[in-house]
Structure formats: C-alpha cells, structure tokens
Amino acid sequence: MKKIKVVSMILMLFATMSVFANSGADVNPEASLCAQIRGMLKKNSFKVASEDWTAQVFFTINKDGELVVLSVDTENSSLENFIKGRLNYRKVNLDNIPSGKVFTLPVRVTA
C-alpha cells in the first residue's frame, strides 16, 4: 500500500511538472504583424481588369510602434499611393518586434 502511494505521488509530480513545462503554442509576431497589415489593406475599391496588381512594400516599425513605409515597388502609382496612405504611421499592436528592423511584404490585388 505504501508503494502505491509513493508511485501515485511521483506520477502526480510528473504530471504537474509537465503542465507547467508546456508554455503553449508560440505565436509568431511577424505573422501577427502580417495579419494586422492585411486587415488595414482589406477594404479597397480597386477595379482590377485582367491581371493582378503586385507590389513589394518595404517598411519598418518606429519606437512608438507605428509602421513607417520606406518604399513601395510597383508599376501602378494608384496602388502605391493607396498602400502608403493606409499603412504609413499606423499603430500596430506587437510586443516582440524590434524597432528599426526592415520588413518586406509582398502585396497582390486580384480581380
């Protein structure tokens, strides 16, 4: 009987340790950042005729947690102005993103 109690206490100890050791799923802060930017660009009134419009957006995050668009590489000036207007100096909610790091984001507007 004493051995059963000791074994059960050891099993409970291991079960408790494994619960505290599991910190949960790690959230990728860059994926969260992309999701926030996608939400900012989602509602638009572009009428794309035949081919998709694409752009390569280079941006950074300042010390206040705001997006700063550095450049938008695209052949479509209205898409460039739209992206700059929607993203430049918009606040994002992130904790683990270092300020000053340059990010690249591909943007595609489809019909």
Residues β-bridged to residue 69: 59
pTM of the full structure: 0.68
Query: What three-state secondary structure class fits 24?
Result: coil
Q: Are 40 and 85 in contact (CB under 8 A)?
A: no
Segment 16-38, tens digit of pLDDT: 666 566 555 556 767 788 888 88
Q: Are 95 and 29 in contact (CB under 8 A)?
A: yes
Strand order in the sheet with 53-61: 67-73, 53-61, 103-109
Residue 89: what pLDDT?
A: 92
Question: 100 — alpha (psi -120 to 50), left (phi > 0) or beta?
Answer: left
Residue 41: what pLDDT?
A: 83
Residue 111: what pLDDT?
A: 63
Single-letter code of the amino acid located at 28: N
Looking at every residue in the chain, the average pLDDT score rounds to 79
